[in-house]
Structure 1
Amino acid sequence: MTSGRCLCGAVSYTISGDLRPIVYCHCEQCRRTSGHFVAATACRQSQISLDESTGMAWYRSSPDAQRGFCKTCGSSLFWAPEHGRYWGIFAGTLDRPTGLKASSHIYVHMASDYYDIDDGLPAYEEEFSSCYFPGDVE
């Protein structure tokens, strides 16, 4: 069982299933939400449970997805696509140890100009198939 929470504790969650390896997302929305690129994992939507959601708020960031955050402390927690099969989870909100490893970078054409992507991980201009779970087709 994996757990996580926001900075102030008003939102906490548990995950009963496996998590996808970490993907570094450099898209403009993730950069503006976090102040930098985002380290994100994901789980099937059916495997996540919001234990304490009194502080949970959602913002529709695009026609296809919304972002979940704590309305008290502002912590960004989730990215939830409309199809509802999985949720992206901001990895920094997970309790340690996570046991996760980074696997790749996505949306590198939107990366800011103050850092280099030179860690040797695969880097993609857009999303790629391993951002999804087996059997999911986007």
Structure 2
Amino acid sequence: MAEKTGKCMCGAISFTARGSLDRFNICACDMCRRITGSQFFSVWLNMSELDLSGADNIRTLQSSDWAERAFCGNCGSVLWYRPTDGAEGVGLSLGLFDDVTGLVGDNHWYTDKAICQTVTLPPAHTLTEAETEAQYNGGTD
């Protein structure tokens, strides 16, 4: 059983996820695009496989007749998509994970609404993490 950790941007909410953590999903529906600004990348797991800390900072929004979205009440980081039909499953935001090594894409929904299918830029328009930090903030967050 795999285990991965993660947190929201401000660190008020952190987690350890356990289970089959080898795949991620992508959704480009209207709600996912609006809440993320592009597409929602998530890892599907059961809430019972998620140990949360800082749960008092979680805010939820009933985003449709069948699902809710959760976010950090301090920094606004998107936490998850969860059906409200009583099922245990939750789509935990891939962007929260400290390490996404080994995860591969599984499902991609609403592909016809995706903002960015695949972007290939010439090397002159790409920067690594170190290059970006050096250029914009001298290597500090």
Measured against the shorter chain, the TM-score band is 0.7 to 0.9
Matches of residues 38-53 of structure 1 in structure 2 within 5 Å?
Answer: 38-53=40-55
Q: Flag structure 2 segments of 5+ consecutive residues without an equivalent.
A: 121-141
Which of 44, 62, 65 is residue 63 of structure 1 equivalent to?
A: 65
Rg larger for: 2
How far did 1:67 drift? 0.7
Aligned residue number for residue 54 of structure 1: 56
CA contact (8 A) 1:69 1:75 kept: yes
Q: TM-score, normalised by structure 1?
A: 0.76
SS class of match (2:112): helix
SS class of match (2:38): coil
CA separation in 2, counterparts of 1:66 and 1:20?
Answer: 24
RMSD, aligned CA: 2.0
CA contact (8 A) 1:45 1:84 kept: no
CA contact (8 A) 1:10 1:54 kept: no
Aligned amino acid, residue 110 of structure 1: K
Which of 110, 114, 117 is residue 111 of structure 1 equivalent to?
A: 114
Aligned amino acid, residue 91 of structure 1: L
Q: Flag structure 1 segments of 5+ consecutive residues without an equivalent.
A: 120-138
Aligned residue number for residue 24 of structure 1: 26
Higher share of residues assigned helix: 2
How far did 1:10 drift? 0.8
CA separation in 1, counterparts of 2:20 and 2:6?
Answer: 14
Q: Percent identity?
A: 32
Aligned amino acid, residue 95 of structure 1: D
Aligned residue number for residue 77 of structure 1: 79
Matches of residues 126-137 of structure 1 in structure 2 within 5 Å?
Answer: none
- How many residue pairs get aligned? The number is 117
